[in-house]
Amino acid sequence: MTLEKCLQELYQLRRFGIKLELGTIRRMLAGLGNPQDRLKTIHIAGTNGKGSVAATLYAILMEAGYSVGMYTSPHLIRFNERFMADGRMATDAEILEAYLAVRQIPKGNREPTFFEYTTAMAFDLFARQGVDWVVVETGMGGRMDATNVIVPAISIITNVTLEHQQYLGNTLEDIAWEKGGIIKPRIPVVTAVTQPKVAAVLQAIAEIRKSDIYRLGKDFTFRSRADGTFTYKGIFSDMPKLECRLAGEHQLKNAALSLAACEVLADRRFPIGERAIRDGLKATNWPGRLEIVQKEPELILDGAHNLDAARRLAAHLAKVYSNRHITLVIGILADKPYEKILKLLVPHCNRVICTKPKIDRALPVETIQNISGKYCTDVIAIPKVDRAVQYALAHAAPEDVICVAGSLYVVGEAKSYLDGIQQTLQGI
């Protein structure tokens, strides 16, 4: 068995789609000896910001001296990125070992999905490594997400907006109920949810389960400063002049949420010092989210894969680059609200290059081109992502801005192409 063969078999499982139930993953984990029960975990759900919060807590806990794993999805370039531990991604050998362990478990009533398989692999892999903590990001929703087999030390819900309505429900309250399903009895929860109706749903779940709930704007808050730092006013203490490495105003909210989680964990006798928090914030790395990968021209990678993320990117472009020539390289999946995403992003740009990632759910470039033409006069279609990025670079002045967005799959392909250029230049 090679990693290539392993990944071929795993990717074939995508044809079984999404199954929101926990019986299959529980059976798989039982066959592995329930490795998740040997781990201290932090569980994160929400529409946006899950990965940023996960990466921040991962960095802070490492700075605090803990051995830490992190399970996130999707990956940008390499499958191994989904399983991080102590500053490195899982090796091919570690992935193969976990895959073969899961593969030997007898099949039940149905074939496991891709995400169920990778989740079982993650818990097995981290248990073998004996890490102190694992930061776990949900895949979709929460209540019936395959990761919701853990009893974490703390639950985190970033925000709730309309998404995956065919699976999670048609209203914000429905979706909040699904995401609130990660709240466990007597386990604290912190959240950045602000909509009254959504907050009421989470509050009700927390009361039923006798879980303390801490809310941004009510129990903790933050304030940005003119010098680029921010002040955190917390549940138990305050911290002034903090530096956040991740770009964008919205990342201060994610940082505050992470700090609230650290406060609650410290209050429950899991010590995390202020120095670890400060150093962890400055060390946090979360690729593909307002990531500047080069200057002259300035090239930004940002997934902006749903409506809320597109709003944040549009606000960032308007605030930071209002006087710059912006080229947007964009590809979107067909199951996303692509017309609204394009209406948000395209008006801020001088040129649009429509492209398409290598995934069967990708929207045709002609569709993107037709809609973008309503808001911009310079619109072209280049179906391959690497060629689209190459064209954008070739036709940009040093002072221009190029933004690659619309899907993490597009960002991953762009990042892979750019990494290839760097390796060629370095003679690797």
Burial class of 236 by CB neighbour count within 10 A (0 to 12, 13 to 18, 19+): exposed
Tokens 């007898």 belong to 106
Give the orientation angle of helix 23-31 with respect to helix 114-129, to 10 degrees. 40
Alpha carbon distances (Å) from 315 to 69, 157, 337: 33, 23, 18
The domain ranges of the chain are 3-283, 291-421
pLDDT the model gives residue 285: 93
**How long is the chain?**
428
pLDDT the model gives residue 427: 63
Buried (b) or exposed (e) across 315-325, using 16+ Cβ within 10 A?
ebbeebbeeee
Give the orientation angle of helix 114-129 with respect to helix 92-103, to 10 degrees. 120
pLDDT the model gives residue 179: 97
Look at the domain 291-421 and name its fold: Protein-Tyrosine Phosphatase; Chain A (3.90.190)
pLDDT the model gives residue 425: 65
Ordered per-residue pLDDT tens for the chain, 428 residues: 899 999 999 999 988 888 889 999 999 999 999 999 999 999 999 999 999 999 999 999 999 999 999 999 999 999 999 999 999 999 999 999 999 999 999 888 889 999 999 999 999 999 999 999 999 999 999 999 999 999 999 999 999 998 888 889 999 999 999 999 999 999 999 999 999 999 999 999 999 999 999 999 999 999 999 999 999 999 999 999 999 999 988 999 999 999 999 999 999 999 999 999 999 999 999 999 999 999 999 999 999 989 999 999 999 999 999 999 999 999 999 999 999 999 999 999 999 999 999 988 899 999 999 999 999 999 999 999 999 999 999 999 999 999 999 999 999 999 999 988 877 666 65
Q: Which of 144, 149, 141 is nearest to 168 (CA)?
A: 141
Q: Which of 51, 192, 324 is nearest to 316 (CA)?
A: 324
CA dist., res. 74 & res. 51, Å (int): 10
Tokens 């770009």 belong to 247
Beta pairing class for 351-356 and 379-384: parallel
Q: Could you give the 3-state DSSP secondary structure of residue 413?
A: helix
pTM listed for this prediction: 0.93
For the chain, give the longest Cα–Cα distance.
60
Written as six digits, the tokens of 344 are: 């948000």
Q: Could you give the 3-state DSSP secondary structure of residue 404?
A: strand
3-283 in CATH: which number?
3.40.1190.10
pLDDT the model gives residue 201: 97
